[in-house]
A and B are shown apart, each in its own frame.
Chain A
Amino acid sequence: MVEQQRVWGMALRLEQGRLDHEALEGIRQRKLMVQVRRKLLPCVVMVILAFVLSAPFGILGQTELQTALTLGTVWFWALYRPAFMPLFGLFCGGLVIELFSANPPGVLLFWMLVAYGVAHGCRAGLSRRGFLLSWTLYGLIILGEALTDWVLMVIRVRGALSVYPIVFQEALAVGSYPFLHVLYLWGLSIMEKHDRL
């Protein structure tokens, strides 16, 4: 409330042409902060989620959930607010996540970039056709990631492995995405409200 009054007062002084240097500096700093938050927050949240899920909690499907949340974060922000997920931040975040991932090196990073590319490329079409199609495409990306993991592990072990982990990862990721979507929409609305203020 106090913050709102301060901003209104600043706007009033701006209209009256009495804006002093201090107020101008405040506006500039605030604008910079909003920009930095917009550019960094989704990437930072993604890295923190991946890091927390790499701790040995002993939760069933923890590794699969780590992959699902990482790719889900990239998919949501690249699809709905690509400006909030800069490509450079995504790449750096992906490299950091690779350090805390149990998947074969590089696979998650590769599929993060693929998810970004697909979401960015089909953004206009997907926004017209609704949530179901974007959910299906996300499921296909998860399937691609799980299959790549499986193939690389088969090469490493030099023997056939069960396909059950692929099904499990796919089910977990596809099942958890609507919750992630709702959570990020809520976060996005709060962020935009705050920025408008």
Chain B
Amino acid sequence: MISIHTRQLLAGLVLPVMVFLAVGVMLAGQIWSAKAIQLRMAAAREMGPVYQGLLFPQHQFYKWQLTLQGVGDLLAENSRLRKENRQLAYWYGEAQTLRQENARLKAVLHWGAEDTRDYVSGWVVRDESGPYLRAVLLQVGDHQVQQGSLAVDAVGLVGRVSEVGPHVVRVLLIEDAASRIPVTLQNSGGDAMMIGDNTPYPRLMYYSQSLRPEEGEHIVTRGQTGLTGGVSVGHVHYLAPGQPVVIPDAALERLELVRIFDGDFMPEAPPSAGRVREKPPLLPDHHDGEAPSNWQNLRRFLPFSSLRNG
């Protein structure tokens, strides 16, 4: 039987022990941050249907609001749509002409088969945006999404996949302070780096001094290994002289349905058989998967002229 004095002493120790445990959780979260994120993603995945249920009234409210607004200015909307329709018909004709011309030119150039791009769409199940973080969790079902894949909404780039779980992926938004995306300025063709800073307008940095971004210039992603090029990002705007930022095309403040490109990785160039390398490889290439013999290892020390690739 525990005495009252001992019981009081033990009761007084409970809070310090729990504080100690909380500090442990904090340290563990800092050291194994990836594990902590995975755990939170798993929780969001399990609670996905509940979140959908919670959001249902809000979605319904927005739908009713849109319907009411639509009913309110139906006449004006109708005349605007007629105008837009005429314009679209004109652009459709233009696009058809350009498409045919493009196909003809590609035929002339003996253009290779184009890479088809797969994508997967998912609902945003949780908005992880806070004071220091801009990210969303998407439910993508059984699709295998690669880390680093681009995520877009109906209009433009949203971010890149930073974590991949069994059914849920985490998309780091372009506004986040950890976001770095290479972009191309469409008018000049110059390259720059779009860097998030936890504000709605990511900064543009590391551009060529001879090809400065122009006000209103459109920006797309830069095509390179590991990144799909030509995805619409936004427009340049100068907050102050020498401080260009990007006004994103995507509606980042209200994301619902997001699409992820599944195959963001451009194919590597094939080995150029028969050509002579300028320098010997640091590690021997083994395309057939066999272990190299000692004689083959010695090839790197031979003169350049006798080296063959592959």
Q: State A91–B22 Cα separation when bound (angstroms).
A: 9
Residues of A contacting B51 with CB < 8 Å? Answer: 55-56
Main secondary structure of the interface of B (DSSP, over half): helix
Would A98 and B125 be within 8 Å (CB), given that A55-B55, A56-B136, A162-B198 are in contact? no
Main secondary structure of the interface of A (DSSP, over half): helix
- Partner of A56 from B22, B24, B55, B198 at Cβ < 8 Å: B55
Chain B, residues 127-152, CB within 8 Å of chain A (1/0): the string is 11111110010000000000000000
Interface residues in A39-66 (C-beta closer than 8 Å to B)? 51-52, 54-58, 62-64
- Partner of B130 from A102, A117, A155, A156 at Cβ < 8 Å: A102
Residues of B contacting A182 with CB < 8 Å? Answer: none
Listed in ascending order, the chain A residues whose CB lies under 8 Å from chain B are 51-52, 54-58, 62-64, 87-88, 91, 94-95, 98-100, 102-107, 109-110, 113-114, 116-117, 120, 149-150, 152-153, 155-157, 159, 161-162, 165-166, 168-169
- Partner of A110 from B19, B39, B40, B129 at Cβ < 8 Å: B19
Interface residues in B36-62 (C-beta closer than 8 Å to A)? 36, 39-40, 43-44, 47, 51, 54-55, 58
Cβ-defined contact, A64 with B28, below 8 A: no
Cβ-defined contact, B178 with A157, below 8 A: yes
Residues of A contacting B253 with CB < 8 Å? Answer: 58
Q: State A56–B44 Cα separation when bound (angstroms).
A: 11
B14 at the binding interface (Cβ < 8 Å): yes
Q: State A168–B22 Cα separation when bound (angstroms).
A: 25
B40 CB to nearest A CB, Å: 6
Q: State A52–B14 Cα separation when bound (angstroms).
A: 30
5 contacts between A and B (CB under 8 A): A52-B54, A88-B14, A99-B39, A100-B43, A113-B19
- Partner of B15 from A64, A116, A159 at Cβ < 8 Å: A116
A136 CB to nearest B CB, Å: 22
